[in-house]
Amino acid sequence: MKVTTLTINGELVSASPGATVLEAARENGIRIPTLCALEGLSTVGACRLCLVEVKGSPRLQPACVTAADEGMEVSTDTDRLRRYRSMILELLFAERNHVCPVCVANGHCELQDRARQAGMDHVRLPYQHPDLPVDITHARFGVDHNRCILCTRCIRVCDELEGAHTWDLAGRGTNARVITDLNQPWGDAVSCTSCGKCAEACPTGAIFKQGSTVGEMEHRSDRIRFISAARARKEWSP
């Protein structure tokens, strides 16, 4: 098995064949911030937080969907990248109503974690404050569109691991929403198996277990990784 050799932040590293830049970085203990990426699911490059600089390319590349090539020279932590990442996070906070102190995921939120790690202390853009619905028609779960960052983890986990494809995306731009079945209330979505994988995969307080109040929704995204790995290796005991 031939490994790929590339340079990340001036250090020569090797990556498994077929690895992405993100995987190559993680294999070598180099941290690249991500939001939409979740181990065990396909990658879509939706959040742009993992953007890196690749020598010879004028454009920034999302590490999660860029193949690690032989001889590639990658930078993951430059001033320019930090500036872009801060702006991406501020855009996410400004776009919908992420009111952390009253959110079910407060303290257990990947968006909050990324903002803290990036040193974000305020949002320079005006908050949009859109009027968005909360759907609690499902017996066990709810979806709060105020907290959704459109990472599509719920869509991917439902399609790729559960095989139900209850979730999908409708609308464009600021009108984009995650929907259940044909944009029906979740409680009426007959394809939903109520497995709860979407609630475990969600990085924010958008999908939650009913009955959770402020700070009580702890997502177990590691379970997604576990199920995916167990299936791949045909290991069914924990």
Binding of other proteins by 229 (CB under 8 A): no
The distance in angstroms from the start CA to the end CA of the chain is 29
Amino acid 85 reads R
- The stretch near other proteins (CB under 8 A) out of 47-55, 65-73, 122-130, 196-204 is 122-130
**Binder among 101, 172, 236, 238 for other proteins (CB under 8 A):** 101
In the complex, minimum distance from the CB of residue 186 to other proteins, in angstroms, rounded to a whole number: 21
- Considering the complex, state which of residue 102 and residue 229 has its C-beta at the smaller distance from other proteins: 102
Binding of other proteins by 175 (CB under 8 A): no
Q: Would you give the DSSP letter of residue 2?
A: P
Binding of other proteins by 148 (CB under 8 A): no
DSSP string, 164-206: ---EEEESSGGG-EEEETTTB-GGG-TT-----HHHHH-SSSS
Give 214's contacts (C-beta < 8 A, 6+ positions apart): 101, 102, 103, 104, 106
Binding of other proteins by 126 (CB under 8 A): yes
- The stretch near other proteins (CB under 8 A) out of 12-20, 64-72, 125-133, 220-228 is 125-133
**Binder among 131, 232, 237, 238 for other proteins (CB under 8 A):** 131
Binding of other proteins by 121 (CB under 8 A): yes
Token readout for 115 is 């903002």
Residue 25's H or E segment, with its range, is helix 21-27
**Binder among 132, 170, 176, 182 for other proteins (CB under 8 A):** 132
Binding of other proteins by 134 (CB under 8 A): no
Going through the chain in order, the beta strands assigned E by DSSP cover 4-8, 11-15, 51-54, 61-62, 73-75, 134-135, 141-144, 167-170, 177-180, 207-209
Site residues (vs other proteins, CB under 8 A): 93, 97, 99-102, 121-124, 126-127, 129-132
